[in-house]
Structure formats: structure tokens, C-alpha cells
Amino acid sequence: MTQLYSNSSLIRLPPDGTTEGLDRFSVSGINPDAETDEDVWVPGDMWAAPTTARIHDIVSTSVLDTSDGTGCRTVLVEGLDDDFKEISETVVLNGTTPVPTVKLYLRQNMIIGKSFGSTGFNAGAITSTAQTDDTVTTQIRVKAGCAQTAIYTVPAGKTAHIIGHGSSINRLTGQPALGECILVTYSRAAASPDPGWITEWTTGLIYLEGTIDKQYFDPAIPIPEKTDIRMSIEELTGANLFIHGFFFGLLVDNPV
């Protein structure tokens, strides 16, 4: 199979009809107080990856997010090691005291609540911070239950085929707002010995209440292994802007 096509919900599979070696991925993020030249993720500002695989400290802003608390008790961390291979682990929270991960993460594609107390949600903001670098890798905002980060790294041995993406802009004041939401990639494939950020698609954002701009790609956009994908914000006008962005597709095992 050399291409995947999208036509509404239709995906053309390999000639033999098998789905072995295929997996779906979907990434959704928000920036609740966006400014220009920021990424679509909860902390705002520009996302910075760890400089190498690091132990991460997982901590909440609430004492209720602990092993026997009423908030979030454990989180599942899913990410990539120094070779971009998929790894994961469950971390037992200890409220406002940081808990280090056992494994070293070069990237974290998702953190999601795994078990909860009586409230059924995380009481505080839960942050994953790389040791040594002291940079935030991802964050779960209060009551969200999972990280809302429009950033994803393609694991080793796979190709990501982006089928579609979308974005929206909103603001509290109801005044006009404009901007651009761009889908950019940073590839470490063999064909990119000196990589840099490449814009794959740009979407204009216009504030219209309840409007979400969606784009489907036919054929899908192939993104090689070990590539960072992120949604970024440019050319914003106005203040107090809430940006939502998402992209989705299929992961395909590379030929052996």
C-alpha cells in the first residue's frame, strides 16, 4: 500500500483487505488564552521537547489528586524513548508532591487519567515536567481528565497518514478575531539529514460563533517516522482568544 485516501469516512485498505499493521491516531488540543506565535496546547507559548530522553515529574496543583484522594489517583503516560520506540507506564499521583516516572521519555504523546476517586475528575492541573531541562512536556487542565495537546510524534517504524484536521477560534467579548492555524512538521527521516519545521497546511481562522473549520486530505498526507507534528497559531488579532485544533489519521507499519 503506497497511499491512503480519505473521502468522508471512507478509507481504502490494502488489496487483500487486511487491517494488520494499521492503527488510528487522533490528536486534539486547546490554547485557552492564545496569542500569536503560540502552539495549540494548554500551557500556551511554544512547545519545547526534552533535549534527550528524561525522567519526568508528574504533579498536580491539588492535594485531592492522590492515591486515596477524591480526584485523579493514577495517570497513564504514553510516549517514546530515546529511539522513538513506544513506551508507557502508570504513575500513582501524590497530590502536590512530584512523582518521577520510572522510564525516560523523549516525547509524551498522551497523559490520561486511569483511575479516579468519588468526584470522577482531576481536581487540579496535572503537569509532566522533564527533569534537568525543567520544561513542561504536557499538561492536563482541571477536570479535563486527559492532556489536550495538538502535538504528536510519529513512533519509529511507522508512517502517519494525516486524513484531516480542523480548528476553531472563540472569544469571550464577541468582538472580531482573525488568525491562522498552521500544521507543521519536523522530520528526522533519512531523507532529511538537516531537518527544520515545514508547513504542511494553513487554515484561516475567523471568529464566527460555533464555527469549526475542517479539512480532509485526499490523498492523505504521509508523515515519516520520528517526525514531530504540531498545530501552531500565527497572525492573531484581538485578545482573550480560545483556540481549538485537532488532526487525525492512520499509523501504518513500515515495510521490514
Residue partners of 196: CB distance under 8 A and separation at least 6: 186
| CA proximity to 106, closest of 253, 231, 226 | 226
**pLDDT for 222-252, tens place per residue?**
999 999 999 988 877 766 788 888 999 999 9
Please say if the pLDDT value at position 16 is more than 60. Answer: no
Q: Is the pTM of this model over 0.85?
A: yes
Predicted local distance difference test score (pLDDT) of residue 8: 36
For residue 204, how far is the Cα from the chain centroid? 21
pLDDT digits (tens, 9 = 90+) for 144-189: 999 999 999 999 999 999 998 888 877 666 566 667 777 888 877 6
Q: Under DSSP, is residue 222 helix (H, G, I), strand (E, B) or coil?
A: strand
- All domains of the chain in start order, with CATH: 23-47+151-253 (2.60.120), 56-140 (no CATH)
Q: Are 154 and 161 in contact (CB under 8 A)?
A: no
With beta carbons less than 8 A apart as the criterion, state whether 183 and 200 touch.
Answer: yes
Compute the mean pLDDT over every residue in the chain, rounded to the nearest whole number: 85
pLDDT of residue 27: 93
Provide mean pLDDT across the span 85-99: 98
